[in-house]
Amino acid sequence: MSNSPFGLGGPKGMDPKVVQILQDAFKKGMEEPSDVETIAKIDQEPFYLNTVDYRAFVMRTVAEQRQVMEELRFKPE
């Protein structure tokens, strides 16, 4: 199994109450049996992170990939 994380973004300064409503709705949706079944069919694992944790995950992933690219001496055209 593997993960292919996707995230949603909104405009900077969104009302925290709206962010919480959206977070709760997506988490609930990911727990629906049909969603769990679909994810399993494509050999994925559920991977939910709240806003704070997802941002930290993205920042960490970007830093890790930047380091890999530097080690490979990759230079974008």
- Average pLDDT for runs of 10 along the chain of length 77: 74 94 93 93 88 91 92 81
CA-CA distance, 26 to 13, in Å (whole number)? Answer: 20
**E strand map for the chain:** none
Q: Which residues are bridge partners to 44 per DSSP?
A: 2
User: Which residue from 15, 8, 11 is spatially nearest to 50, judged by alpha carbons?
Assistant: 8
What does the pLDDT read at residue 51?
87
- Proportion of the chain in helix, strand, coil states, percent, rounded to 5: 60, 5, 40
What does the pLDDT read at residue 47?
85
Using an 8 Å Cβ cutoff, are 44 and 3 in contact?
Answer: yes
